[in-house]
Amino acid sequence: MMIQQTKTQDAAPRFGRLDADLTEVESAIVRSREYLLSRQHPDGYWNGELEADAMLEADYIFLHTLLESGDPGRLRRALTEMMRYQNEDGSWSIYPGGPGNLSLSVKCYSSAKLMGIGGDDPRLAKCREWVLAHGGVVECNTFTKMYLCALGEYDYDAVPAIPPEIVLFPKWFYFNIYEISAWSRSILVPLAIMYAKKPFKRIPSEQGIDELFVGGRANSILRLRRYRKSFVSWRNFFIILDRLMHWAEAVHIRPLRKLALKRAEKWLLARLEMSDGLGAIYPAMLNAIIALRCLGYSEDDPQVIRARDEFEKLGIEEPANDVMPEPTFRMTPCASPVWDTAQAVFALGEAGVARNDPRLLKAVDWMLSKEVRHKGDWAVKVPNTEPGGWYFEFNNEFYPDTDDTAQVLMALNKVDNPRERYQHQVAERAIAWEFAMQCRNGGWGSFDKDNTKMIFQYIPFADHNAMLDPPTVDITGRMLEMLAGYGYARGDKRVEKAIQFILREQEPDGSWFGRWGVNYIYGTFLVLRGLEAIGVDHLEPQIQQAAEWIRMVQNADGGWGETCGSYDDPNTRGVGISTPSQTAWALLGLLAAGDDRSDSIAKGVRWLLQRQQADGSWDESLGEGKLRQGIITGTGFPRVFYLAYTLYRQYFPLLALTSYRRTMERAKSF
């Protein structure tokens, strides 16, 4: 399925200088507010579904095939869900409208065959043709190859080595596991156990994928092993090191393997506690289940049962409906209740919900109950800091992050809690933790401090492009907005250092890169909000240049949009069909830059008003019937994995309209 997302070229109706009437804006705010409140869980939180690509269903089928487990009916429904995302050219994409992705396409092809679809099926024949035209299986990433090895469809010797001995490196050593990103850490440690134990399940030949190797499987892998000599570089150094490790594997020179596996097992078990599965994210949870079985844990061992239960909780059963005549089953990559609750409370507070409203108080009390009070991986680099802050999911005590923590702190500021003293103490702890996590260059990463050693991107198994967690301007912008709400200003050296980091990172055209949202629109709006809140003058050239960039990329219909393709080609930044969330971001950025009178503002507000539905919500989907998909505006790992946050389209437009109303009312008072 290919859904085109390109900048609108057709002329759209012009509204001239017709600003929306404030009574119309107020009506839209009230409807939006009530809709968002209706989505609150009885326990006080919000949790919108996270949508991703077909990898989740493909890997689900792989896991249960390998372990000979799973409900047959659910697996068939997962297959139905996976197949509906296939593109017309036979491939699968990591975001709607994007190009085919080789690793994902091979996974889906393999999973379809595991479920009994024959290679002569027209859908698989078309996929096979596409895969072969793009280099075949040997061009897939390491994670895909590791899963294929477990089914006997690839050779462990031809996969980049992931030795469990990495967990033995001391924390002061340059190459220790705490120098890679938290998410890669939680994925790679169980994967290293798998590499050491080399699980293997022989599948019937008719379920194999030998036909996806260009020139045949044996020839393809042989060519892969012949590493070509070239100039000296870190990549070549690691390739040679990888070959040496494979040689050591082959001749069983592994003096530390037993100790390494024990250490990896201990690391894994510790992080299964106080969490919704390892790292509370799909790939780490899946790998952990396999790793436990590789270590000899039985099916009925409590650790395996709990790991499986947490994994299966990510599944959603969808009955047959007008859109899909067959029932389907899909997996979500994780849950997002802390993030959604913090965003919803902040937007509702800005929209005028009373500071003592029982619904907001319930939400705040729920968030306070999720405060982190144990030291996690982050403490390796900041050992003398008291735990504080929040994570993203329901439970993930080892991995609080700076972005969720900043947003929760902003939400707490919108409520008058009867437990005022306790809430103040929690906030003070969290702010102290945030400052301790500030990186040397003034910015903030998400889970770790100074996670910036670029050498790790050259490691052969690092081809998933997500080994590091460097400081980013989007998180830093939100941090400034939060700190301003708690009385911090430019006189604080830490704040000024953050401002200078942001200003250094501005792109030549005035925009800022968005690491955690798609993409430059997201980064730019958060920076402008942060700089305004902390007191940077609107008239500064860098602020006005950013505002002009936002106006320049506005679509003819009055909205804004940008696709995940801008991560691959920065020349397409700000290009895409208009969406409610990205239109809201653009408006918030312009308002933060002091623009309250341009045609861009008027058209953007009108775009949101005209597309609000009767129940107060906004839709952010494309396609009809079986082809219907949510538009991706969230980022997991740039160029690798993307997310559709289904509540972004609700609380961000509400925040934008509220900010517009406040700005216009303030302008009228002068």
For 597-609, the pLDDT digits (tens) are: 899 999 999 999 9
Question: Mean pLDDT throughout 459-469?
Answer: 78
Higher pLDDT, 57 or 249: 57
Question: Mean pLDDT throughout 68-92?
Answer: 96
Mean pLDDT in the chain?
91
Catalytic residues: 403
The model's confidence at residue 321, banded by pLDDT at 50, 70 and 90, is confident
Coil, strand or helix at 315: strand
Q: How far apart are CA 349 and CA 659, in angstroms?
A: 12
pLDDT of residue 6: 42
Q: Which pTM value belongs to this model?
A: 0.93
Asked if residue 242 has pLDDT above 80, the reply is: no
Map out the domains of the chain as residue ranges: 53-331
Q: How far apart are CA 160 and CA 150, in angstroms?
A: 14
Q: How far apart are CA 323 and CA 282, in angstroms?
A: 27
Question: Mean pLDDT throughout 503-528?
Answer: 98
pLDDT of residue 170: 83
Question: Mean pLDDT throughout 546-567?
Answer: 97
Q: What are the structure tokens assigned to 446, written together?
A: 């998400």
pLDDT of residue 11: 37
Closest to 635 in 3D by CA, of 477, 559, 522: 522
Kindly give, in sequence order, each residue whose CB lies less than 8 Å from that of residue 145, ignoring residues fewer than 6 positions away: 137, 154, 158, 159
Reported for 305-310, long-range contacts at CB under 8 A and 24+ positions apart, including other chains, are: 306/272, 307/272, 307/277, 307/278, 308/69, 310/276, 310/277, 310/285
Indicate the fold that domain 53-331 takes in CATH.
Glycosyltransferase (1.50.10)
Cα-based angle 13, 17, 19 (whole degrees, multiple of 5): 95
The model's confidence at residue 4, banded by pLDDT at 50, 70 and 90, is very low
pLDDT of residue 462: 72
Residue with tokens 């975001």: 95
pLDDT of residue 237: 54
Q: What are the structure tokens assigned to 335, written together?
A: 């849950």
pLDDT of residue 245: 58
For 9-42, the pLDDT digits (tens) are: 333 444 444 567 889 999 999 999 999 999 999 9
Q: What are the structure tokens assigned to 393, written together?
A: 């999911």
Question: Mean pLDDT throughout 489-518?
Answer: 97
Asked if residue 7 has pLDDT above 60, the reply is: no
pLDDT of residue 236: 58
pLDDT of residue 667: 77
Q: Are 559 and 583 in contact (CB under 8 A)?
A: yes
The model's confidence at residue 464, banded by pLDDT at 50, 70 and 90, is low
pLDDT of residue 252: 66
pLDDT of residue 320: 85
